[in-house]
Structure formats: structure tokens, C-alpha cells
Amino acid sequence: MTLSKIRAVSLSVLAVAALLAGPASAAEGRWSLAIHGGAGVIKRGDLTPEKEAAYRTGLHAAMAAGAKVLKAGGSSLDAVEATVRVLEDNPLFNAGKGAVFTAEGKNELDASIMDGKTLKAGAVAGVTRTKNPISLARAVMEQSPHVLLARDGADQFSKEKGLEQVDPSYFRTEERWKQLETWRKNHQAALDPTHLFGTVGAVALDQAGHVAAATSTGGMTGKRWGRIGDSPIIGAGTYARDGVCAVSATGSGEYFIRESAARQVCDRIAWKGQGVQQAGDDTIKSIGAIGGDGGLIAMDGQGRAAFSMNDLGMYRGAVSSAHPVAKTAIFADEPSPR
């Protein structure tokens, strides 16, 4: 057997071993949830005490929704959807109700979800009338033969499947509109440094040992030409595989796409034997090396959570059966919850 074939077989054995390690034992009853609400240049003092408290309250509300599902023995897929829906309904976060505006003054929403048990996934891009895009992404996964639907087609699919529709004006908030107006005067000024990369996401492990990941975003203020970032791209902004990891990313999407960031984390665990924190950190380093910024959350097959970023902050939180009191963090120098 040639050396190249030996190497190929060795890599295959490593991958199979990771998969055969499979989900954690259901008898253990373990569950875990981690979330993010976007990354940016978030220095202490940039946020008023009231706004900081509001962000932490929003993170806690989202985790409460997901933890409720997991405590009751629900699936990780249900948990991440429930978690992200709460964040989409909160105008503080750039997803759903709090989505930023395109250069044309519209709200175009992206989302994706992936089931680590089946490797099924669903995603939508540029939707304009679905109240909760993450639920539409799940409908694409479960009620269509496709993975990604975009723009008018995604809107039509949503209507046909009976998901809650809203007038596009529902997504308008004055704060986001003011950011667009400022952007139109100066294309950098409106990019709020405390929420530069506003995406929300969740990763979870359920009591049956299955993982799932979900991500949702309004994109970037002033985006043009139907721009789509990494959030609805499976393998870039979202990925999940039982026994290996679940990942949701936030940042300069073009760079996360180029580095296949979410899948890269899982590959580092499965193929290189890295721990989840090291895999996340090294992936963010690879993104930084080509000029990208942002962060990601990851969870391995045993429910261990990791938070990695190369910005000065990321809205984040975690809760689990081992640590049932939910914890949040915002600033880069603030210890991430476990």
C-alpha cells in the first residue's frame, strides 16, 4: 500500500471513530445550550448600564426558551429554533425584528438550521415577510427537497407553508433606520461598532445526545445587489454533526464563507483531534489571517461549549444541566460562560 493510501485510510479511521463515538448516552440526561447575539468592537463603557442590562436580559430570555425544551427532553433542533426565535423577536439584535436595512431601505433576512443527527439542513436568504426566518429555514429542511431558498421564492414558499407573515414595515426600527441614513452620508459611520457583526445563533446538545445549530441575521447595513453572507450558508455560518460538533458564526461573512468556518471547526475536531475550544480559536485565526473579523460559538459532541472571537466583544451565553444557572458575557476580557 502506498504512503498516500495509508494516510487516506488513517484519516478515514479518525473520521469514522469520531462518528462512532456518536451522541452522548441518553441515560446520562445531559443537555447543553450556548448562544450568541453578534460580535463587534464592544469596549467597557461603550454601552450604557441600561443597554448592557437589556442585552443580558435578552440573552437570558432566549436561553430560557431553549433550556425549557432541553430540560423537558425535547430535541436540540427544537431548542435552537426556540432560542433563535426569541432573539429574532428582540429589536436589540440584528435578526428578525431588529434587522438592519439594505442600501435600498429594505429588510432582507437570512437564516439557517442544521440537524446533527441526520445532517439535514435548511436555509433562506433575502426573505422579507416571514416573522421568524429561522422557522422558515426549518420548513425548507423538513418540507422541501431543497437546502437553500432565496428572495421571492423563499417568500412564496413561506406563504404556502402557512408560516406567520408580516408586513415588511414590521421589521422597521428607528434605530436601524437612523443607522441607514447615516450610512448614506458616510458609508462607515452607521456601522455601529458595538454591534458591527449583528447575527444571532444557538447550538445545543439534547438528552438523547444529538446536536443542532441555528443562525439568523439581517445582514449588513447598506448591503447591495442581493448580498448574502455566511449565515444561510451551510458549512460557513452553520454546521452540526452528531458526535463531533455544532457551530454558529457571526462576523464578516465573506471571510467565513472563504474559510468554510463552521465546517472547519468540526473538521479540526474530527480529523485533527483538537478540543472544541482550540478548534474554534484556530478557525478564527485562519479567518483573521485573510482579513476577517467576528466570532463563533461551538459545542462538541459531549456538550462542551466554546466561544472564539477576534473582536473586542461578542454577546454570548450558556446554560446546561451541569450549570443550570444561565450565564452571559459581552466583553472580550470577560470570561465566557461554560
Residues tagged active-site: 199
Q: At what angle do helices 3-21 and 261-272 cross, to 10 degrees?
A: 100
> In this structure, what C-alpha cell is assigned to residue 139?
420548513
CA angle 26, 19, 253 (to 5 degrees): 100
Q: In what order do the strands lie in the sheet with 109-115?
A: 148-150, 121-127, 109-115, 211-217, 199-205, 32-40, 313-320, 327-331
How many CB atoms lie under 10 A from the CB of residue 299? 32
CA separation for the pair 89, 166 (Å, rounded): 12
Could you tell me which of 263, 165, 205, 266 has the C-alpha nearest to residue 80? 205
C-beta separation of 122 from 142 below 8 A = yes
Task: Please report the beta strands in the chain, taking only residues with DSSP state E, as ranges in sequence order.
Answer: 32-40, 109-115, 121-127, 148-150, 199-205, 211-217, 238-241, 245-251, 294-300, 305-309, 313-320, 327-331
Show Cβ contacts of residue 143 under 8 Å, excluding neighbours closer than 6 positions.
Answer: 161
CA separation for the pair 61, 50 (Å, rounded): 16
Could you tell me which of 142, 137, 93 has the C-alpha nearest to residue 237? 137
C-beta separation of 215 from 111 below 8 A = yes
Instruction: Enumerate the β-bridge partners of residue 132.
Output: none
> In this structure, what C-alpha cell is assigned to residue 214?
441555528
CA separation for the pair 218, 195 (Å, rounded): 12
